[in-house]
Amino acid sequence: MENNDVMRDAATRKKELRAAIKSRLETLTRDRYQCANLLYDQLKRVDRFRDANVVGLYVDFKSEAPTRPFIPRLFDPDERLNIQTVAVPYCVGLEMRFYKLLRPEFDPETGEPRFADLKPFPPFGILEPSEERRLDERRYVAPEKIDLLIAPGLGFDAAGRRLGRGSGYYDRYIPLLRPDALLIGLCFDEQLFDEIPANRHDKPVDVVVTPTRIIATARRRVESQKKT
């Protein structure tokens, strides 16, 4: 009973914190491109990010820390990364899978990156591979192939605890990764908290990256370059 009470308490605190964070994010006014570039610069300071061959990351949606503006740079040889595959998530029922993304092109009118193999899916309009693309088995990226996974979250703390949106997709997917795969949580500075409520099903990350900080969490020691 005590464990059940603890879990119920954590669930209540999570619900309250989600509502508070969503309200906070709605008031933020940020230049998406400037913020994305800052996040990318911080990611490049993490050795394991620069050295990874297969990187899984989300395509930002609404108030999430932006990734779309810097995704094309992951394909650019001038960036001097070792990345061979960029994989993005999609959902099938309660299961999350990853798809090998084609190199984005830029819209000549807006200058925005254009993802030819992705389209918005109902009910939320999150960009995911089209039904036709999902049938291409050559594009499926198995979890054991991923060297580094970048996950979104509503909130993080210095211990690596992550507050998701409540669907549990990442918590179910992370145990499928190799034990040596690096987990990075990406967020705004305003999404850092002293403590995120968690239960035994919640999976922490190894590193939290914000536009101004790199936090190596208590879950695993990682080396990152110091600011110059």
pLDDT digits (tens, 9 = 90+) for 149-165: 999 999 999 999 999 88
Write the CB contacts of 105 (distance below 8 Å, at least 6 apart in sequence): 113, 114, 116
> Cα-Cα-Cα-Cα dihedral of 15, 200, 223, 64, to 10°?
-20
- Mean predicted lDDT score pLDDT of the chain: 88
With beta carbons less than 8 A apart as the criterion, state whether 101 and 84 touch: no
Higher pLDDT among residues 147 and 6, named by residue: 147
Amino acid at 140: Y
Distance CA 84, CA 35 (A): 25
Mean pLDDT, range 182-186, rounded to an integer = 97
With beta carbons less than 8 A apart as the criterion, state whether 29 and 187 touch: no
What b/e sequence results for 9-45 when a residue is b if at least 16 CB atoms lie within 10 Å of its CB, and e otherwise? ebeeebeebbeebeeebeeeebeeeebbbbbbebbbe
Distance CA 117, CA 132 (A): 9
Query: Could you tell me the residue ranges of all domains in the chain?
Result: 2-216
With beta carbons less than 8 A apart as the criterion, state whether 184 and 46 touch: yes
With beta carbons less than 8 A apart as the criterion, state whether 112 and 106 touch: yes
Going by pLDDT thresholds of 50, 70 and 90, the confidence category of residue 2 is: very low
Amino acid at 66: P
Distance CA 44, CA 54 (A): 15
pLDDT digits (tens, 9 = 90+) for 96-142: 999 999 999 988 888 889 999 999 988 778 999 999 999 999 999 99
Q: What's residue 89's pLDDT?
A: 97
Name the one residue in this structure whose structure tokens are 């900080």. Answer: 213
Q: What's residue 202's pLDDT?
A: 81
pLDDT digits (tens, 9 = 90+) for 6-44: 455 778 888 888 888 887 787 777 788 899 999 999 999
Helix (H, G, I), strand (E, B), or coil: what is residue 174?
A: helix
Mean pLDDT, range 63-71, rounded to an integer = 94
Q: What is the CATH number of domain 2-216?
A: 3.40.50.10420
Distance CA 217, CA 122 (A): 35
**What is the reported pTM?**
0.88
Mean pLDDT, range 66-95, rounded to an integer = 95
Within a 10 A sphere around the Cβ of 150, how many other Cβ atoms? 21
Distance CA 63, CA 47 (A): 27
